[in-house]
Amino acid sequence: MAQTDPGISPPPPLSAMLETLRERHGLVALGGGEKLRARHESRGKIMVRERVDLLLDPQTPFLELSPLAAWGLYGNEVPGAGIVTGIGIVQGRACMLIANDATVKGGSFFAETVRKHLRAQEIAEEHRLPCLYLVDCGGAFLPEQDRVFPDRDHFGGSFYNQCRMSAAGIPQISIVFGGATAGGAYIPALSDQVIMVKGTGRIHLGGPPIVKAAVHEIVDGETLGGAEMHTLVSGVSDHLVETEMEGLAKLREIVGALGEIGKITPPPQPPAAPKLDPAELVDIVPTDLRRPYDVREVIARMVDDSAFSAFKPDYGATLVTGFAHIHGYPVGILANNGVLFSESAVKGAHFIELCDQRQIPLIFLQNITGFMVGTEAERGGIAKHSAKLVYTVSNARVPKYTVLIGGSYGAGNYGMCGRGFRPRLLFSWPNARIATMSPEVASTVVTELRRQSLKGAADEAAIAELDRRTRAQFEEQSDPYYATARLWDDGIIEPAQTRDVLGLCLALSAGETRDTGPRPVYRM
């Protein structure tokens, strides 16, 4: 039985964590608050999430990405980082939607807004999804300009991405509902087609205050960059519409004429619901990461017909590997069932190469403290064997998708396709934890190093305070909301939703033409 540290409060049950997650999603959906929502609607403008709903095909899913970006930052005054991104179905085609929320700081770009925008474009490029920009923004948030403007992965990177995707035949289409100011003007200006809403849509590299300061010209925003001027005079806009509803209908019409891009490839076999109910996961998965459980119980509630064909089940048993289907699409699953030993790592590398050769997408279910340590492990070659797993994860050419279902600590994060190893999408459960090590281990390491440095002259009261501060730091920084606020994942999802989320991900990549070069399988 796992020992309980009396200095650590037990985590709440998963059901309570889910209530917290739903509550926070609900708060973010309100945008900038009642006052700013009322002002937005008084101008005849539709709320950003309603725009998204009106654009999507009825009764189709919308996979929102990073809805809790910037959570806990800026005094929680930038919910969702002021932008809604996600994958939805428009005219039967999977599309990436990138929509500014003008009720949040006027739709201005903070550092997290830029990261969220860039991440949506990265996902769109990997899956060849048309990008639909619902523009209502005020450019960079000037007090944050040093974190938004100058670097490679700052605001300019989004325009670079637009140019590259357009050149690659991935449609870039904008509808301008409100402002598109300063750098924001390039979102529509670099699009393949542009719609502007009369009376509210405006595009200008420099707004009236900048024009006055720079060239001493006094001009109103409509004359400077209004929808009529840009459609009838400058040619920046291709379509002038009277209302937002008309504009959304026009956008759907344009998407409907895009040809085959974005159309989803049906699964090779009919989907089958799991025999075991995914809703039971809330009672199966412990939130205390020190409590063991059998990850095969999770897999059985995630895959079609609860059917899982294990690979090497009697070897390296702390890594569960095997084949299954999710919503009719074939997958290879790697799931942690304890610490990774050399045998587990070699088995994982072998399995990844099998899937890579057979062009089967990979699903990683992370609940990992790391690789085994100690004299015996080092003499047995844990460094070189774990490196084999890291190497094959890095070089697998099939789509990879990762879900953090528990702990994600240290090098185990790397071996199980953490963010640094470019999974197509990575999601977390609300019980997940991500850090170099757990708070308990971190505090032990730090305090022991301090004792050694003081060579017997340690002040135990000071050591106890260091222990407390270290635990508090690691508790805070390993929290899933800390991670998702900084876009270390693509969103926190509910365990029962995971099967459907992964099914949509697999559908996006199913029709890809993949690299058919040599794919050797080394038995390691």
CA nearest 153: which of 119, 187, 179? 119
Give pLDDT tens digits for 195-249.
999 999 999 988 888 888 899 999 998 999 999 999 999 999 999 999 999 999 9
Helix (H, G, I), strand (E, B) or coil at 174: strand
- What does DSSP say about strands 319-326 and 309-310: parallel, antiparallel, or unpaired? antiparallel
Question: Does residue 487 surpass a pLDDT of 80?
Answer: yes
Task: Decide: 95 and 255 in contact? Cβ < 8 Å.
Answer: yes
Within 13 Å and on the Cβ side, how many CA atoms surround 350?
Answer: 17
Within 13 Å and on the Cβ side, how many CA atoms surround 314?
Answer: 0
Give pLDDT tens digits for 292-326.
999 999 999 999 999 999 999 999 999 999 999 99
Extract the tokens encoding 334.
């790697």
Question: Does residue 440 surpass a pLDDT of 90?
Answer: no
Extract the tokens encoding 424.
């197509």
Question: Does residue 451 surpass a pLDDT of 80?
Answer: no
Question: Does residue 397 surpass a pLDDT of 90?
Answer: yes
- The residue ranking higher by pLDDT, 125 or 379, is 125
Question: Does residue 4 surpass a pLDDT of 50?
Answer: no
pLDDT computed for residue 467 by the predictor = 84
DSSP string covering 9-54: PPPPPHHHHHHHHHHHHHHHHTTT-HHHHHHHHHTTPPPHHHHHHH
Extract the tokens encoding 94.
């999977």
Within 13 Å and on the Cβ side, how many CA atoms surround 308?
Answer: 24
pLDDT computed for residue 429 by the predictor = 98
DSSP string covering 354-370: HHHHHT--EEEEEEE--
Query: How many Å apart are CA 285 and CA 402, to the nearest integer?
Result: 17
Residue 62 main-chain phi, psi, to 5 deg: -130, 115
Q: Compute the average pLDDT of residues 380-403.
A: 94
Give the rounded distance of the alpha carbon of 2 from its chain centre. 33
| C-alpha distances out from residue 303 to 261, 267, 271, 398, 465, Å | 28, 14, 10, 19, 47
Q: Compute the average pLDDT of residues 412-437.
A: 96
Of 51-65, 283-297, 299-313, minimum mean pLDDT range: 283-297
Q: Compute the average pLDDT of residues 454-475.
A: 82
Task: Decide: 176 and 196 in contact? Cβ < 8 Å.
Answer: yes
Fold of the domain built from segment(s) 31-256: 2-enoyl-CoA Hydratase; Chain A, domain 1 (3.90.226)
Q: What is the mean pLDDT of the chain?
A: 93
pLDDT computed for residue 522 by the predictor = 73
Task: Decide: 181 and 226 in contact? Cβ < 8 Å.
Answer: no
Extract the tokens encoding 131.
């990008």
Query: How many Å apart are CA 428 and CA 264, to the nearest integer?
Result: 25
Fold of the domain built from segment(s) 1-16+266-436+479-524: 2-enoyl-CoA Hydratase; Chain A, domain 1 (3.90.226)
pLDDT computed for residue 1 by the predictor = 35
Query: How many Å apart are CA 447 and CA 460, to the nearest integer?
Result: 10
Query: How many Å apart are CA 336 and CA 411, to the nearest integer?
Result: 13
Query: How many Å apart are CA 189 and CA 341, to the nearest integer?
Result: 53
Strand ranges, E, within 91-238:
93-100, 131-137, 172-181, 193-197, 202-204
Q: Compute the average pLDDT of residues 344-348.
A: 96
Give the rounded distance of the alpha carbon of 501 from its chain centre. 12
Extract the tokens encoding 185.
């003007």
Question: Where in the chain are the domains?
Answer: 1-16+266-436+479-524, 31-256, 439-477
Give the pLDDT band of residue 8 (cuts 50, 70, 90). low
pLDDT computed for residue 3 by the predictor = 44
Question: Does residue 352 surpass a pLDDT of 80?
Answer: yes
Q: In the 8-state DSSP scheme, what is residue 140?
A: B
Residues contacting residue 25 through CB under 8 Å, at least 6 positions apart:
67, 68
Question: Does residue 98 surpass a pLDDT of 50?
Answer: yes
CA nearest 385: which of 500, 512, 524, 495? 524
Helix (H, G, I), strand (E, B) or coil at 149: coil
Q: At what angle do helices 460-477 and 439-454 cross, to 10 degrees?
A: 150
pLDDT computed for residue 348 by the predictor = 97
Extract the tokens encoding 376.
């015996």
Question: Does residue 5 surpass a pLDDT of 90?
Answer: no
Give the pLDDT band of residue 524 (cuts 50, 70, 90). low
pTM of the model: 0.94
CA angle 93, 46, 72 (to 5 degrees): 85
Q: At what angle do helices 48-55 and 244-256 cross, to 10 degrees?
A: 40
pLDDT computed for residue 514 by the predictor = 75
Question: Does residue 256 surpass a pLDDT of 60?
Answer: yes
| End-to-end CA gap in the chain | 35
Give pLDDT tens digits for 257-267.
999 999 999 99
